[in-house]
Structure 1
Amino acid sequence: MRTAVVDPSGHLRHNCRLPTPRHSPGPGLLEFDPVALADAAMQAATATLAAAGEVDAVGIANQRASTVVWDRLSGEPAGPGLGWQDLRTALDCLSLQSEGLRLAPNQPATKAAHLIGAAGAPLERLCVGTLDSWLVWNLTGGTQHLTDATNAAITGLCHEDRVEWDPAVAERLGIPDAGLPRIVDSSGQLVEATALPGSPLITGVAGDQQAALVGAGCVRRGDVKITFGTGATLDACLGPGDPPAEIRGPSGTFPIVAWQQQGQVVWGIEAMMLSAGSCVAWLCELGLLEDPGESDAVAAGSLDSAGVRFVPAQMGLGTPDWDFGARSAFTGLTTAAGASHLVRAVLEGVAHRGVDLLEAARADSGLELLEVVVDGGMSANGTFLQALADASGRPVRVAPEVECTALGAGYLAGLGIGAWDGWDEVASLRAPARTIEPRRQADRAAWQEAKRRAARWHPDLSAVSF
């Protein structure tokens, strides 16, 4: 959980960061405590406001698809929150697929249905929401149940060609219409955060990846960024008009709402990697690293990976494969491989998956996407960035601010009160990025063979399609 103030020049000030623990009760399961998360948000916001003083507006950027169901009378969660990577509804998705309803387990639709089925409260008292809904509910003292268009559009509960709830899908899943939040713009004067000192207006709400797109200044057609965090997400801005695809493009990308303002939707295209920084965290759990931040120096201790290839698929493979049954794998291990080689192989494997995302987005959008901006925690890792440039064969631009998501939330909030004249001024706030040039040609074919071997370890999960 992070809070910060974005000043008129587009810089972050008065940062506060608090942990929001998650736990995995079993393979493919990821839960969190919604109350602890809301408490952390309040604590962090209060700390930032105490340091900064009065603010003009509040913006929210949230981890998308993570899902909460709560009792509207008590305000208490009806069960644990389910993280976006949680796969417990994979078999439900497979069953629905046979009925012609294509949903993925990392979408909120079946997560919400699962939580409702396990809840003890009457249906008419239950509220369904992604994290933006849950945070707004708490920031408004339990009076406002809403979500923005970027979050609503990826739930699996909207019509395919417009950002409106599809009552037929909700009914099939047992989700009451009254339990769904009101859909609002991503930027505009929305509601008052009465739980915060001074009751500032909430004027910006967006999913984290869309906020990062805005924060990176990628607001014109063909602009593209990849955020490398726990997972990795490529987003490209396409502009207003019709969505680029109904559900999913031929290369495994899918349409997103980049933002909605004054009722007008700006569309984008997205490609996803389910495991990225989480693989580096896993190396810490294995004892190969003490801290994820040291992966750069450890990997730099070897000139290459000694022939070892790593496929980052702890939660399956996203774009372009969408194989939820794939699993991570090291290949090419010999006694010549030491800890530094394994760490390098992991960073290079994540880089190759990044190239997968780029290639898929180019194919499905028809755009060249020549320049990519990289942000997120892994954008501070020099060895990884060089591996990405080498694997893609193209320069990589590194955002000067690792946390483009926070910037984007601030930009959306500022636009909502007229702090900036429009999107061109927001784009002009982007600071110059440093560029990483390719140094050598990476062996894509060898890595792709390793990926082929990591596929379909769990056929039932691999059969899930959406």
Structure 2
Amino acid sequence: MTGSVLAIDQGTSGTKALVICPERGVIGSGTAPVRPRHLPGGRVEVDPVELYESVVDAGRRALAEAGEPVAALGLANQGETVLAWDPATGEPLTDALVWQDRRAESVCTELAPHAEELRHLTGLPLDPYFAAPKMAWIRRHLTRGGVVTTSDAWLVHRLTGAYVTDAATAGRTQLLDLERVEWSPSALELYGLSDERLPDVVDADARIGTTTVFEADIPLTGLLVDQQAALLAQRVTEPGTAKCTYGTGAFLLAQTGTAPRRGDSGLVSCVAWRLAGRTSYCLDGQVYTAASAVRWLTDLGVISGAADLDPVGGAVPDSGGVTFVPALAGLAAPWWRGDLRGSLTGLGLDTAPGHLVRALCEGIAAQVVALADAAAADLGAPLASLRVDGGLTRSALLMQTQADLLQLPVEVSALPDATALGVGAVARLGIDPELSVDDALPHRKPSAVYEPRIGPDEAAERLAVFRSAVATLLDREPV
């Protein structure tokens, strides 16, 4: 039996660290905030030093609470957040462009004639959400110096001196050959990045190096992008199973097994993980704004925070005719229209805060239904249920709305920090190659299961209203 591990989830709005014991579960935890800047023109950026310091701070807090040494470290990352940095000194040369950043739209417009070629090579549609357009934009507009990578490569270098990224994170760039799981010379050439020194692509459970920033020497043996780490923690390891994480955005992933599945329903085909040299793949769909849309309502003073969703939304029986398409950072899968802005329609003098809350919950849930429908179409069979995790799963209103519109059971994870638990399991695999994936994963039991309370006809009617509002947005000229 391996010893305890330190698992760190470096996220968009904060970093969470857990010390996980194989026998006793979580014995220490720590958090540290991260404050991205939302700027005009769809720009979202963050100070890279803040990312690194949050990792160190959260990790030290978790270790202090645990009060005992750990055998290994696992690190999960945001996926598509990028920066330029000096590999000689480790110093950042730019701010980090967060995955929500839209400034690389011009790069995508220029490469539009090659969109299908890139999708076939990498499994990803052409969109500034992914890393490569932002990397190219940095090279054109900010600096030609140093290296330009996803944030994980910089964090790992600061922690251990190694220059690596895991296969799943590399698969979020649109520079990775999906079949070969190697950097694609063709994709690099299209983006004007052929001369870049890119990090080595390693297995998620590779022994990467040793860090000393937590005082004792700790080997880094787990590295995985956040959504795939949550996928693993939820035990979505068999084809046809799916999970959705409700965080800053909402992310639905469906397992496809040892071969990539390229559908035509608008979902992304990508690497789920590569463990011990064996690659698993998944379908991936995104809702750009979930908790960030809740934060928007909070900033307007409609509610005081996510904890208000249920009491405020529960004060009214329905949305009162209000329809909210919360495309506050554009529409992601399956539409891929990041240029769009959201819409709020059906307002009246009788519209109350509860109607806005319910309309937001329906808007988030309806987008997830679109992702689930797309996954079912690409898989050739409907999903049997949806496993969910993330902070917004605490809202019974949102989860019931999700079950109602999806017309499927929604199983809420009892693991509140699925991403950290997933990368913790990977770190255990990295220090004990004899351990099976199943044995390394935390025990999975839902904390709640929401069954649909309405019939399929009412669900279809409510979804039709939302889809009509989306169609109105799609008919607008790109901005």
Pick the TM interval, shorter chain: over 0.9
Corresponding position of 1:343? 357
1:195-344 matches, cutoff 5 A: 195-240=213-258, 242-245=259-262, 249-344=263-358
CA shift in 2, pair 1:419/1:196, >3 Å = farther
Q: Indicate if the aligned counterparts of 2:31 and 2:57 stay in contact, CA closer than 8 A.
A: no
Q: Deviations over 1:389-429 (max 9, x none)?
A: 11011111100122211110111111222288312324572
Q: Indicate if the aligned counterparts of 2:101 and 2:128 stay in contact, CA closer than 8 A.
A: yes
Amino acid at match of 2:156: V
Corresponding position of 2:7? none
Cα distance in 1 for residues equivalent to 2:101 and 2:153: 19
Q: Indicate if the aligned counterparts of 2:326 and 2:364 stay in contact, CA closer than 8 A.
A: yes
Q: Which has the higher contact order (CA 8 A, sep 6+)?
A: 1
Q: Could you tell me which runs of 5 or more consecutive residues in structure 1 were left unpaired when the two chains were aligned.
A: 461-466
Cα distance in 2 for residues equivalent to 1:267 and 1:456: 34
Amino acid at match of 1:66: T
Q: Indicate if the aligned counterparts of 1:78 and 1:115 stay in contact, CA closer than 8 A.
A: no
Q: Indicate if the aligned counterparts of 1:226 and 1:375 stay in contact, CA closer than 8 A.
A: yes
Q: Secondary structure of the equivalent of 1:30? A: strand
Amino acid at match of 2:215: P
CA shift in 2, pair 1:10/1:115, >3 Å = farther
Structure 1 residue 296: Cα displacement? 1.8
CA shift in 2, pair 1:287/1:340, >3 Å = same
Q: Secondary structure of the equivalent of 2:60? A: helix
Corresponding position of 2:38? 24
Q: Deviations over 1:247-276 (max 9, x none)?
A: xx3111111211101221111111111111
Corresponding position of 1:114? 137
50, 55, 65: which one aligns with 2:80: 65
Structure 1 residue 150: Cα displacement? 0.4
83, 96, 110: which one aligns with 2:98: 83
Q: Could you tell me which runs of 5 or more consecutive residues in structure 2 were left unpaired when the two chains were aligned.
A: 1-14, 119-125
Any runs of at least 4 consecutive aligned residues in structure 1 with deviations exceeding 6 A, and if so which?
Answer: none
Q: Deviations over 1:179-238 (max 9, x none)?
A: 211100011322212333222111111110000001112222222100011111111122
Q: Secondary structure of the equivalent of 2:208? A: strand
Q: Indicate if the aligned counterparts of 1:204 and 1:413 stay in contact, CA closer than 8 A.
A: yes
Q: TM-score, normalised by structure 2?
A: 0.90
Q: Secondary structure of the equivalent of 1:272? A: strand
CA RMSD between the two structures = 1.8
Cα distance in 1 for residues equivalent to 2:312 and 2:180: 48
Corresponding position of 1:187? 205
Cα distance in 1 for residues equivalent to 2:387 and 2:23: 20
CA shift in 2, pair 1:406/1:423, >3 Å = same
Q: TM-score, normalised by structure 1?
A: 0.92
Cα distance in 2 for residues equivalent to 1:432 and 1:343: 25
Cα distance in 2 for residues equivalent to 1:447 and 1:171: 40
Corresponding position of 2:401? 387
Are 1:367 and 2:377 an aligned pair?
no
Corresponding position of 2:414? 400
Q: Secondary structure of the equivalent of 2:293? A: helix
Identity of aligned residues (%): 35
Corresponding position of 2:50? 36
Q: Secondary structure of the equivalent of 1:27? A: helix
Q: Indicate if the aligned counterparts of 1:379 and 1:402 stay in contact, CA closer than 8 A.
A: no
CA shift in 2, pair 1:181/1:10, >3 Å = farther
Greater shift after overlay, 349-358 or 172-181?
172-181
Greater shift after overlay, 407-416 or 176-185?
176-185
Q: Indicate if the aligned counterparts of 1:269 and 1:365 stay in contact, CA closer than 8 A.
A: no
Q: Secondary structure of the equivalent of 1:4? A: strand
Structure 1 residue 310: Cα displacement? 0.8
Amino acid at match of 1:243: P
Are 1:132 and 2:152 an aligned pair?
yes
Amino acid at match of 1:62: N
